[in-house]
Amino acid sequence: MSNPRKKYSDAQNVALLSQVSRVCPLCAEPLFYKKGGKSFKNYELAHIYPLNPSQEEELLLKHEELLSDDVNDEDNIIPLCEICHGKFDKPRTVEEYRELLALKKRLIERSGQEAIWKRYTIEDEISQIIEAIYDDPELDNDADIEFTPKEVDEKLDSSISRPTKIKIKGNVQEYFFFIRKKFSELDSVNPDLSEMISLQIKTYYIKQKSMGHGQQVIFENVVSWIHAKTKPKTNDAAEIMASFFIQNCEVF
Residues 35 and 82 in one domain: yes
- The confidence score (pLDDT) of residue 143 equals 57
Q: Identify the CA nearest to 173 among candidates 132, 143, 128.
A: 143
Query: pLDDT by residue (tens digit) across 99-110?
Result: 999 999 999 998
pLDDT band at 37 (very low <50, low <70, confident <90, very high): confident
In this prediction, what percent of the chain has a pLDDT beyond 70?
96
- The confidence score (pLDDT) of residue 94 equals 96
Least confident range of 14-23, 137-146, 167-176, 201-210: 137-146
User: Is 238 a domain residue?
Assistant: yes
pLDDT band at 150 (very low <50, low <70, confident <90, very high): confident
User: Is 5 a domain residue?
Assistant: no
- The Cα 118–Cα 20 span in angstroms is 20
Residue 235 scores a pLDDT above 80:
yes
Q: Which of the listed residues 96, 117, 138 is the one where a domain comes to its end? A: 117
Query: pLDDT by residue (tens digit) across 117-140?
Result: 989 999 999 999 999 999 888 887
Residues 87 and 131 in one domain: no
User: Is 2 a domain residue?
Assistant: no
pLDDT band at 2 (very low <50, low <70, confident <90, very high): confident
Q: Which of the listed residues 65, 89, 117 is the one where a domain comes to its end? A: 117
Residues 89 and 168 in one domain: no
Which residue segment(s) compose the domain that 47 sits in? 10-117
Query: pLDDT by residue (tens digit) across 61-85?
Result: 999 999 999 999 999 999 999 999 9
pTM, entire model: 0.75
User: Is 3 a domain residue?
Assistant: no
Residue 51 scores a pLDDT above 70:
yes
Residues 219 and 154 in one domain: yes
Q: Which of the listed residues 80, 100, 117 is the one where a domain comes to its end? A: 117
Residues 21 and 82 in one domain: yes
Residues 66 and 143 in one domain: no
User: Is 131 a domain residue?
Assistant: yes
Residues 101 and 131 in one domain: no
Query: pLDDT by residue (tens digit) across 177-200?
Result: 999 999 999 999 999 999 999 999
- The confidence score (pLDDT) of residue 162 equals 94
Mean pLDDT of the chain: 92
- The confidence score (pLDDT) of residue 81 equals 96
Residues 79 and 44 in one domain: yes
Residues 128 and 240 in one domain: yes
Domain count, the chain: 2
User: Is 40 a domain residue?
Assistant: yes
Residue 142 scores a pLDDT above 80:
no
Residues 163 and 134 in one domain: yes
- The confidence score (pLDDT) of residue 69 equals 94
- The confidence score (pLDDT) of residue 137 equals 85
* Cis before 163 (ω within 30): no
User: Is 166 a domain residue?
Assistant: yes
Residues 209 and 106 in one domain: no
Residues 107 and 215 in one domain: no
User: Is 105 a domain residue?
Assistant: yes
